[in-house]
Structure 1
Amino acid sequence: MMAEEFDAKKVAEQIYRYSGGVKNVESFENCMTRIRLEINDHDQIDEQKLKEIPGVLGVVNDEQLQVVVGPGKVNKVEAAMEAYSGEKGINNRTAAEERAKEVKAEAKKKQKQSPFKSLLKDIANIFVPMIPAFVGSGLIAGIAAIISNLITNKTLTGETWNQIALVLNVIKAGMFTYLPIYTGINAARVWKATPTLGGVIGAVILLTGMDPNAPIKNLFTGAGLTANQGGILGVIFAVWLLSVLEKKLHQWVPDSIDIIVTPMICLLVIGLAELFVIMPLAGFISDGLIGGINWILNVGGAFSGFILGALFLPMVMLGLHQILTPIHVQMISQTGNTPLLPILAMAGGGQVGAAAALWLRLRHDRKLVDMIKGSLPVGILGIGEPLIYAVTLPLGRPFITACIGGGIGGAVIGAIGKVGAIAIGPSGLPLIPLIDNHRWWAYVLGLLAAYIGGFIVTYFWGIPTDKLAVERAEAAAEKEKNVRSLTGQENDPDTPTAKLQETTLQAVATGELKPISEAQDPVFAQKSMGEGYVLLPSGNEVYAPAAGTISSVFPTKHALGFTTETGIEILLHLGIDTVDLKGVPFDVQVTEGQQVAAGDLLVKADWQAVIDAGKLTETIVALPELGEAGEFELGKTGKVTAKEQVATIKSK
């Protein structure tokens, strides 16, 4: 059976519909795999309907609503949502401010989040938007490292290759050199501080402009501060303090001077605290973490390999893996390679093995399989974030078994020993050319062990029980379908699957009715929005074409979404290009979620105002989701009266 074509516009519209409508979405943004929505009233979310949207691979309804659609698709859905609502991030605070104040506090009470869980979510929100930059820069860094390695080995010669490696490293440095700035900006957004102030606080740890021969002194030890001391941990804590201070100052400082005084005080106070307190303390903590890692390495053997390989995925999830970079750099400078990187790379191998097991055991879960298909190739290439955030972590148990798989691979490399990488780059297969002393075979053995270990542990112990129950039901249904096909029952008219539901459509107004192919709007005329009809109204009242539920009311009131009692989606579009009129000619009589009977009044339209504005009054009834799942028959054209039966729909 062919996979259903992904329709970003339809997905965007349904995300709004089942999230409580456009007015219930305060803002939204996308990361690599998901749309993240800030919701005013979580009670209006229909989580089950969101999960059933074709193309949606998962839903997380926490303080923030997250809808997973997968890499390569999320940007299309984000653009479609922007087009649907009319603006990026929508920000409906003006319309929903009073209601939001009441329901947000109530929603947070219901969720009962622990402080630790909230902190983990905040940290993830800081780093997830940077995943595309990590992926792109990491791959470029890997290519540059391979070229540099081949130059060192005299396999590649000539100034041209040196220039290529240099250019790639310059591009790569655009991400990793200024990572504290990006982290500061994102952290400020998460904690509702000014993003640019967060970026400046992040830049402070770079110590730009400081003379290395006359450094700023560490107040605790008297030693000179070094750039990036305390790393990302220090930046995150400093920006959190910034958010607390900035909110207080906004309350205390008079509005007339707030724009001048507040930023200056924030940067001065937090900047000084960062230089003289946070950087030294965060550096001490980071040194402690590094010391612990070095202790594990010194223990040696399979034990060290297992511990490091198993713990690296949680570190990636928290963004803490960046603190390992100085260790890699120091080891390479001292010994020529880093034995830590090949072991940590096994974590990605465990993810790959776990994803393969999920694919095999839950192969009837089309959404999950599609997600794995999109994430697995980059996982094999050493980019593990899509598999972590879109596949294993949301399911829970597979994340743990993937960690165990990484530990198994790490144990193999640790047992073999003396496996080091000469450069820092992506893990997975791209790391093979960077393994030193011709011991690439040991790295490959470890990678295979991680694949197999992650697969076996996940296959037998990592499948969520609820998912497994659904899979068994789907498998039984498929088996029954195959039996029906073999016995000739599939086309038996007496079987329930052969029966079609019939829905009658009425004329939504008095006027002249035509097939939708004669619409003035080419999008509707080409049936891009499905079958339906066009009506040139002569009266100002617009009525419901059938019994059902108002699923959405566009902010500009020029269109309504409607779901019939038989589950048919209907789009009622009032006029052509009337979105420009900002809803002025339309007095909508219903609200989202309201049940209506066939013929109930939906809208009072001032068609003369539409005409005076130079727009067409053609009103369109379209069936955007009917497709091949049903049949549409237009029974009457020409002059019609409101509420007169004009068409029928037969659907499965």
Structure 2
Amino acid sequence: MAKEELSLEELAKEIYKGAGGMNNVESVTHCMTRVRMTVRDRSLVNDETLKKIPGVLGVVDDEQLQVIIGPGKVNKVAKEMADQAGVQLGETIAVHTSGKDAVNAKAAEVKAAQKARQKKSPIKAILKDISNIFVPMIPAFVGAGLVAGIASVLSNLVTAGNLDAATWQQYIDVLNILKNGLFTYLVIYTGVSAAQVFGATPTLGGVIGAVVTLTGMNPETPLTNLFTGQPLLAQQGGILGVIFAVWLLAQLEKWLHNVIPESVDIIVTPTLCLLVIGLAEIFLIMPLAGFISDSLVGAINWVVEVGGAFSGFVLGATFLPLVMFGLHQILTPIHVQMIDATGSTQLLPILAMAGAGQVGAALALWIRLRKDKELSEMIKGALPVGVLGIGEPLIYGVTLPLGKPFITACIGGGIGGAIIGAIGNIGAIAIGPSGAALIPLIAGGRWWGYVLGLLGGYAGGFVATYFFGIPKDKQAAVEESATTASEVTTNTAVTVAGTTELFAVAEGTVKPITESSDSVFSQKLMGDGFLVIPENGTIYSPVEGVVTSIFPTKHAIGLQTASGLEILLHMGVNTVELEGKPFDIKVTEGQKVTPSTVVAEVDLNAIKQAGKETDMLVIITNMDAVSEDVLEKTGTVGSAMPVMKVTTA
């Protein structure tokens, strides 16, 4: 009785289980036919359990644990395993206490096959880097954000006179201490994470992030903004300024490592990096942001004076970009001036709508991309925080890395701001967080107008994102994921009854597949076939047919005949480790070939010098379609000489 077919998700989970659990797997890679795992404790691996998994053709216990899946499917299984662990293929899998930890640590990324088809662009590259920087921080954002939201609600209730300060202030202080453990030092964490993404030393990245806090500057003689002549203010340049500075750090550090002698590299390189990038950050990046901030004051004051729906829309839509560049500090004096003059700031409720737009956008993404489990998990964790006015998890973990949803979220914020501007006279009696937490601070009993603005922001962000903000590549990836299981079972070629000849792929010596030094092939776990020990590196197609796949490391080529036979040409043994260097592929996927077609030029000496065998293996991978196969010729052969006949039923 045939084994029941498993979905990719189920198959990946079963392989992890047989390998001793995800925590026992240090990394996952794959070759043309096998999932290759580095395991932490070999005694926890159960070979028999792995062999019994539907879809597993065999297990090899070598330097790596190798689970044989077969060509065409192995890459999908390995990618699914990496996705479940929250890493890229080949990256170290951290030991997690729960599956949720792995999900939270994973960037909201599309499937590898889909990404390979995407056109590269600087914008996509920047957004991808931002995603990689912030997604690992999502658990901290969510935890600290919820703490901050609770503290904000309590603090606002105290300010509004609804709670007794003597009773509640100490609790609020404790919550703020916990919250500030993240948000006060967010630039440092961002610097560390950005350095890991860009390839710089993480601790140097942390120092560059900390520079914007201007710790150690004498307040009596502050540093001067070179553009305005005014004192330099901490945090100017914001998070994006830190990311840009760390990117510069990575470029400089890599260059210095190449030119500085190794004997003094550990001393000279970090010192020069901190001096050059730190000075550029203090005297160029931060002042430039400060100059822009000061230039915006007049424009913002003009927008505020215009008032009404127009003012609300502009301010609500542009606030989040201001925050990311650290330019929102220019608004604090305006808030203070308004409160002193009128008893409330009518600017803060409008700006709070920016967060409402983010919440609406996240809801739309959740509905449209609900089959993306990783993204859904992040949204579920970040939404409650966003409702309470803590927007970082939604911004940096969800909308900004996806690009378009960030823009539509800003539009939603503008709609909410327009509603509040149109109603008018909605102000906050103190400066506090946004979202629902700001309701207790709304002056004059006009909280209803603020709530209408929030609902408008939610609805605006939702509608704009639902219809216009879903990235096409992300949608395509979700659709691809939804159909993967059916593709696995329906992708098998339709075979036609008849006899097909297989040919020698090189001049040399033909041997039965059973004489391969690789037990996967010698035991026919992948199928029957033969091998050729080549005399030269010119390799021909073993059949007349079509090239269906070329492995990224170039050591294996998949072909399909008109009769439906699926053939694997595997060049060398364990040559996946050579990363394609000895192989010059001469064909492309989809190309028609014959036994006289040169498919590759192989550097046999390079393979031998790497300690690998040069056997050229030809394997029939869909043996269920074969009624008989006979190896008719062994020994010395010439290229394109028929050596095997295969009969399909």
- Which residue number in structure 2 is paired with residue 431 of structure 1? 438
- 1:139 is aligned, of 126, 140, 146, to 146
- Which residue number in structure 2 is paired with residue 235 of structure 1? 242
Q: CA deviation at 1:191?
A: 2.4
Following the alignment from structure 1 to structure 2, what is the Cα–Cα distance between the partners of residues 343 and 362? 30
Aligned residue runs from structure 1 range 287-298, under 5 A: 287-289=294-296, 292-298=299-305
Q: Residue 331 in 1 paired to residue 335 in 2?
A: yes
- Which residue number in structure 2 is paired with residue 75 of structure 1? 101
Change (3 A) 1:171 1:253: same
Following the alignment from structure 1 to structure 2, what is the Cα–Cα distance between the partners of residues 221 and 395? 36
Q: Residue 282 in 1 paired to residue 289 in 2?
A: yes
User: Which letter does structure 1 place at the counterpart of 2:274?
Assistant: L
Q: Residue 254 in 1 paired to residue 280 in 2?
A: no
Following the alignment from structure 2 to structure 1, what is the Cα–Cα distance between the partners of residues 401 and 90? 14
Change (3 A) 1:46 1:429: farther
- 1:183 is aligned, of 186, 190, 202, to 190
Asked if structure 1 preserves the Cα contact closer than 8 Å seen for 2:199 and 2:250, the reply is yes
Helix, strand or coil for the counterpart of 2:445? coil
- 1:174 is aligned, of 171, 181, 206, to 181
Asked if structure 1 preserves the Cα contact closer than 8 Å seen for 2:336 and 2:345, the reply is yes
User: Which letter does structure 2 place at the counterpart of 1:429?
Assistant: A
Q: CA deviation at 1:194?
A: 1.6
Asked if structure 2 preserves the Cα contact closer than 8 Å seen for 1:301 and 1:417, the reply is yes
User: Which letter does structure 2 place at the counterpart of 1:279?
Assistant: M
Task: Select the structure with the greater relative contact order (CA < 8 A; seq sep ≥ 6).
Answer: 2
Helix, strand or coil for the counterpart of 1:210? coil
Asked if structure 2 preserves the Cα contact closer than 8 Å seen for 1:303 and 1:414, the reply is yes
Percent identity, aligned pairs only, is 59
Following the alignment from structure 1 to structure 2, what is the Cα–Cα distance between the partners of residues 165 and 242? 39
Asked if structure 2 preserves the Cα contact closer than 8 Å seen for 1:14 and 1:50, the reply is no
- Which residue number in structure 1 is paired with residue 125 of structure 2? 118
User: Which letter does structure 1 place at the counterpart of 2:182?
Assistant: M
Following the alignment from structure 1 to structure 2, what is the Cα–Cα distance between the partners of residues 211 and 146? 35
Asked if structure 1 preserves the Cα contact closer than 8 Å seen for 2:412 and 2:459, the reply is yes
Q: CA deviation at 1:474?
A: 14
Following the alignment from structure 2 to structure 1, what is the Cα–Cα distance between the partners of residues 186 and 386? 22
Aligned residue runs from structure 1 range 569-580, under 5 A: none
Q: CA deviation at 1:459?
A: 5.6
Change (3 A) 1:222 1:437: same
Helix, strand or coil for the counterpart of 1:420? coil
User: Which letter does structure 1 place at the counterpart of 2:219?
Assistant: P
User: Which letter does structure 1 place at the counterpart of 2:307?
Assistant: G
Q: CA deviation at 1:204?
A: 2.6
Change (3 A) 1:7 1:352: farther
- 2:457 is aligned, of 450, 474, 491, to 450
- Which residue number in structure 2 is paired with residue 151 of structure 1? 158
Helix, strand or coil for the counterpart of 1:419? coil
Following the alignment from structure 1 to structure 2, what is the Cα–Cα distance between the partners of residues 184 and 245? 15
Aligned residue runs from structure 1 range 7-156, under 5 A: 9=16, 16=28, 73-76=99-102, 113-156=120-163
Asked if structure 1 preserves the Cα contact closer than 8 Å seen for 2:104 and 2:139, the reply is no
- Which residue number in structure 1 is paired with residue 595 of structure 2? none
Helix, strand or coil for the counterpart of 2:327? helix
Change (3 A) 1:594 1:285: farther
Cα deviation digits, residues 102-129 of structure 1 (max 9, x gap): xxxxx99986533344334334443443
- Which residue number in structure 1 is paired with residue 278 of structure 2? 271
- Which residue number in structure 2 is paired with residue 245 of structure 1? 252
- Which residue number in structure 2 is paired with residue 555 of structure 1? none
Q: CA deviation at 1:358?
A: 6.1
Asked if structure 1 preserves the Cα contact closer than 8 Å seen for 2:191 and 2:242, the reply is yes
Asked if structure 1 preserves the Cα contact closer than 8 Å seen for 2:104 and 2:135, the reply is no
Change (3 A) 1:266 1:309: same
- Which residue number in structure 1 is paired with residue 203 of structure 2? 196
Q: CA deviation at 1:155?
A: 3.3
Could you list the runs of 5+ residues in structure 1 that have no partner in the other structure? 26-42, 81-106, 476-495, 498-539, 550-564, 566-586, 600-652
Following the alignment from structure 1 to structure 2, what is the Cα–Cα distance between the partners of residues 259 and 44? 46
Following the alignment from structure 2 to structure 1, what is the Cα–Cα distance between the partners of residues 372 and 185? 41
Following the alignment from structure 1 to structure 2, what is the Cα–Cα distance between the partners of residues 217 and 24? 55
User: Which letter does structure 2 place at the counterpart of 1:296?
Assistant: V
Q: CA deviation at 1:258?
A: 1.0
Asked if structure 1 preserves the Cα contact closer than 8 Å seen for 2:289 and 2:327, the reply is no
Following the alignment from structure 2 to structure 1, what is the Cα–Cα distance between the partners of residues 149 and 480? 44
Following the alignment from structure 1 to structure 2, what is the Cα–Cα distance between the partners of residues 147 and 187? 34
What is the Cα-based RMSD across aligned positions, in Å? Answer: 5.6
Helix, strand or coil for the counterpart of 2:311? helix
Asked if structure 1 preserves the Cα contact closer than 8 Å seen for 2:208 and 2:246, the reply is yes
- Which residue number in structure 2 is paired with residue 307 of structure 1? 314
Could you list the runs of 5+ residues in structure 2 that have no partner in the other structure? 1-8, 39-70, 107-113, 483-488, 491-517, 529-564, 566-611, 625-649
User: Which letter does structure 2 place at the counterpart of 1:331?
Assistant: H
Following the alignment from structure 2 to structure 1, what is the Cα–Cα distance between the partners of residues 123 and 355? 26
Q: CA deviation at 1:376?
A: 4.5
Give the TM-score normalised by the residue count of structure 1.
0.53
User: Which letter does structure 2 place at the counterpart of 1:178?
Assistant: Y
- Which residue number in structure 2 is paired with residue 612 of structure 1? none
Q: CA deviation at 1:304?
A: 2.3
Following the alignment from structure 2 to structure 1, what is the Cα–Cα distance between the partners of residues 401 and 226? 44
Helix, strand or coil for the counterpart of 1:173? helix
Q: CA deviation at 1:259?
A: 0.7
Asked if structure 1 preserves the Cα contact closer than 8 Å seen for 2:389 and 2:434, the reply is yes
Cα deviation digits, residues 431-482 of structure 1 (max 9, x gap): 322334432211111112223334455566667889999999999xxxxxxx
Asked if structure 2 preserves the Cα contact closer than 8 Å seen for 1:395 and 1:464, the reply is yes
Asked if structure 2 preserves the Cα contact closer than 8 Å seen for 1:19 and 1:44, the reply is no
Asked if structure 2 preserves the Cα contact closer than 8 Å seen for 1:142 and 1:425, the reply is no
Change (3 A) 1:350 1:15: farther
Give the TM-score normalised by the residue count of structure 2.
0.53
Q: CA deviation at 1:417?
A: 2.5
Change (3 A) 1:14 1:173: closer
Q: How many residues align?
A: 445
Helix, strand or coil for the counterpart of 1:418? coil
